Amino acid sequence: MSTTLPAPTPLDPEVTGASPRTYLVKTLGCQMNVHDSEHMAGMLEQAGYVPAAPEDAASEDADVIVINTCAVRENAADKLYGNLGRLAGTKRARPGMQIAVGGCLAQKDRAGIVERAPWVDVVFGTHNLDVLPVLLERARHNERAEVEIAESLQVFPSTLPTRRESAYAGWVSISVGCNNTCTFCIVPHLRGKERDRRPGEILAEVEALMQQGAIEVTLLGQNVNSYGVEFGDRGAFAKLLRAAGAVEGLERLRFTSPHPAAFTDDVIDAMAATPTVMPQLHMPLQSGSDRVLRAMRRSYRSEKFLGILDRVRAAMPHAAITTDIIVGFPGETEEDFAETLRVVEASRFASAFTFQYSPRPGTPAADLPDQLPKAVVQERYERLVALQERISLEENQAQVGRTLDVLMAEGEGRKDGTTERRSGRAEDNRLVHLALPADLAPQDAPRPGDVVTVTVTHGAPHHLVADSAATGGTFAVRRTRAGDAWEARQAGDDAHDHGGAGAACGTGAPAPRGPVVLGLPTIGLRA
């Protein structure tokens, strides 16, 4: 069933004379979900909702709470229903409160969510984010739960209004969906086949972010380097990197996550030749065993993976490489696991996201024989983590003495208040905690979005410390327009625009009126 109702207007306080309803979006899952949540927030604000105040958000005190779910991790369902169980009491105590569930688990479980948690008001899927405001209003009017799950993409998410979490950095989706058939992954079933955006639309969105003050962009795709498959150009992603990297005002360009099977040397060349592309690569390994990779339907082998890393490091010697690894895939032997340890040792990852395999209903791997005992998986997982912790520590200790440019961030340093440090990301995306000079005037302190030059004084497994300023060493602050944008947002003078589908990602910048070539093929606009 498709939604044909117009966008709701009764929330406009000028019409109702009432205070606007508040909202909170809680995100579970990956970067794609984080960006989807930005679209959800943008649509709600366009419909007249306002964000819950920080103290209210912390206590989950809002008129509408949206949970954007994940279906990939083992405890995804536990997290959702744990959140919903806690919110049941909140809703009983707050008449008129609404709860909406979206994202991958909503796409998968559908009406089963309302059956298990009947106090949920709205369920919507990954293919129809645009229906959220309408379904909330319909549920209020009809006083019943509204469930709407589309089977295919209705509106490209990047055409929707967007409320960016950050004033200084932004996500830009270049594609949605996935054409791979990895046996452990349910994402293609939930997000559909790959759909590529027009290059002109992508570049217009990057330009709009620069106009708003951002200086960093991360290109997003389920398999980001497969970009161009829909219009038949294997070199499209490398061309896009060069074109996006040349947008005026952009200082840092990143992308995630590429697939090793589609990783080509022209991408490495583009990374090395484009100064704004950062020396950082996150590329999932999943397993170091060729036998397990075949069982996973991962169409590369360990030596190809290591060869890519060698060529990346030859082109960018200081590149930091991170990865994802699954331990305990069905049928994994001790010899298979030893191969994973071998490849991890050889790869010298700066860090790794490590996961214990758990069956995801609906995936081929869930029905494979030889599911491993939990104790075996746990023991192997602990060995892998210990190995990667050692490597991460060694790699970070090797950074001591390097002078880095750190883009200051908001919320990265959980202990900044007690350590009196500030935190941000180096060009290679390592987390850096840095000291300020003792005599630095408050008005001269770096803001999120500013860039600080410091020297690394200590390396830990998960971060660097750069206390050079505390001893009279390297310390310089470059105040940026991104810092100005952050400061304006703090003062309530946010230039953010929730423009609709006629704008480039709802940023308020007009979408290109015709094809933008820039050496890339184009594809037609979609409804």
Residues 6+ apart with CB under 8 A from 132: 40, 43, 44, 66, 100, 102, 122, 124
Question: What are the start-end ranges of the E strands in 177-229?
Answer: 195-196, 216-220
Burial 480-489 (b: 16+ CB within 10 A, else e): bbbbbbbbbb
**What length is written for the chain?**
527
Let me know if 326 is exposed, middle or buried by CB neighbors in 10 A (0-12, 13-18, 19+): buried
| Cβ atoms 498, 42 nearer than 8 A | yes
Residue closest to 259 by CA, chosen among 315, 295, 299, 287: 299
Neighbours of 95 (CB within 10 A): 6
> Is residue 505 marked as binding?
no
Q: What CA dihedral angle connects 225, 226, 228 and 232, to 10 degrees?
A: 140
Residues 6+ apart with CB under 8 A from 487: 447
Position 475, amino acid: F
Residues 6+ apart with CB under 8 A from 117: 81, 84, 85, 88
> What are the distances in angstroms from CA 230 to CA 158, 235, 236?
17, 12, 10
The pairing of strands 475-478 and 195-196 is unpaired
Helices (H) and strands (E) in the chain, counts: 17, 21
**DSSP, res 47:** T
Question: What are the start-end ranges of the E strands in 104-199?
Answer: 122-124, 146-148, 169-173, 175-176, 195-196
Residue closest to 262 by CA, chosen among 222, 231, 296, 206: 222
> Is residue 30 marked as binding?
yes
- Terminus-to-terminus CA distance in the chain, angstroms? 16
Phi-psi region of 506 (alpha: psi -120 to 50; beta: other; left: phi over 0): left
Q: Could you tell me the strand order of the sheet in which 169-173 lies?
A: 169-173, 216-220, 252-256
Binding residues for [4Fe-4S] cluster: 30, 70, 104, 178, 182, 185
Summarize the annotated binding site as residue ranges. 30, 70, 104, 178, 182, 185
